[in-house]
Amino acid sequence: MAAYPAWDPESARAIVARLAHLEGATLPILHALQEEFGHVDPQAVPLIAEALNLSRAEVHGTLTFYHDFKTAPQPARIVKLCRAEACQALGCEAIVETLAREHGIAVDDHHRADALVETIYCLGNCALGPSALVDGELLGRVDADRIAALCRGQTQ
């Protein structure tokens, strides 16, 4: 994964200013900030609100509504584990329990910065579940040992 520069308010202002003219600019701005810095620092909320004439609550609500926006720097690799019904039927919940019990890895479905494994609902790979998404690559028939190895940075 790419190394991101530290959060810089001046660079953030430039990104906001460059995209503020777009219709529905909130999401393009949030995406651009995350692409630039690897996360959207909460300091961006008032910048965006002012530029788009929105309340801070509206911007914060958008930022926190979408699961893929992160408000703090993230680990180098995040494994997204499908926990939808088909993957549940194929054992993903046992994977979650084994990751916690044997590997000390918690599966999180919130915006925690230290989460190595995130919950996602449906990757469209139901026939090959349990499924995971790692560095943009879809993996099928994963187990706890494979997920733990991926969290340690080992190859797929």
**pLDDT of the residue at 108:** 78
Tell me what the mean pLDDT of segment 48-58 comes to: 98
Residue type, 127: A
Residue ranges per structural domain of the chain: 9-65, 79-151
Per the CB < 8 A criterion, the answer to whether 66 and 77 are in contact is: no
User: What length does the chain have?
Assistant: 156
Strands 107-108 and 117-120: parallel
Q: At what angle do helices 44-52 and 9-19 cross, to 10 degrees?
A: 30
User: Which residue matches tokens 């929105």?
Assistant: 54
Please tell me the pTM assigned to this model: 0.68
Tell me what the mean pLDDT of segment 31-51 comes to: 97
66: tokens are: 């979408």
Q: For domain 79-151, is the CATH number 3.40.30.10?
A: yes
- Distance, in Å, from the CA atom of 24 to the CA atom of 121, rounded to the nearest integer, reads 26
Span 13-26, pLDDT tens digits: 999 999 999 999 99
Span 74-116, pLDDT tens digits: 777 878 999 999 999 999 999 999 998 999 888 875 555 556 8
